[in-house]
Amino acid sequence: MSTPRRTARSPGQGMRSPKASEAEREQALRDYKVTIEYKHLKQHAPGGVYVIPSLDNLRHFHGVIFVRRGPFTNGIFKFQIKLPEKYNDTNTWPQITFSSYVYNPHVNAETGELDIKSTYPVWDPHRHYLVTVLTYLKKIFYMKTFGNEAIANIDARDLSKSDPVAFRKKVESCVRESQRSVYINDPGCTAKFTEDELCHEVLRDLMKKKLKNPTTVTRAQIIDCIKEAKSSTKNTV
Residues 213 and 128 in one domain: no
Residue 41 lies in a domain: yes
Would you give the distance in Å from CA 29 to the centre of its chain?
23
The answer to whether residues 71 and 119 belong to one domain is: yes
Domain of 211?
A: 198-236
Instruction: Say if 11 falls within a structural domain.
Output: no
Percent pLDDT > 90 in the chain is 51
Asked if the model's pLDDT at residue 237 lies above 60, the reply is no
Instruction: Tell me the sheet residues that pair with 95.
Output: 82
More confident residue, 3 or 228: 228
Q: Which residue has the higher pLDDT, 68 or 231?
A: 68
Domain co-membership, 173 together with 202: no
Q: Residues 37, 128: contact at Cβ < 8 Å?
A: no
- The CA dihedral of 19, 21, 22, 26, to the nearest 10 degrees, is 140
Residues 176 and 203 in one domain: no
Confidence of residue 92 (pLDDT cuts 50, 70, 90): very high
Per-residue pLDDT band for 208 (boundaries 50, 70, 90) equals confident
Residue 134's pLDDT is what? 96
Between residues 46 and 206, the one the model is more confident about: 46
Residue 172 lies in a domain: yes
Task: Tell me whether residue 15 is in a domain.
Answer: no
- Could you tell me if 204 and 133 lie in one domain? no
pLDDT range class, residue 218, cuts 50, 70, 90: confident
Shared-domain flag, residues 159 and 221 = no
What pLDDT is stored for residue 183 in this prediction? 82
* pLDDT tens-place string over residues 175-200: 999 999 888 777 777 776 776 667 77
Higher-scoring residue by pLDDT: 108, 184: 108
Angle at 76 between CA 72 and CA 77, to 5 degrees: 90
Same domain, 29 and 102: yes
Q: Among 16-25, 28-37, 175-184, 222-231, name the one with the lowest average pLDDT.
A: 16-25
75 with 126, same domain? yes
The string of pLDDT tens digits covering residues 31-63 is 888 888 888 888 888 999 999 998 888 889 999
Task: Identify the pLDDT of residue 152.
Answer: 97
Contacts of 237 (CB under 8 A, 6+ apart): 198
Total number of domains constituting the chain = 2
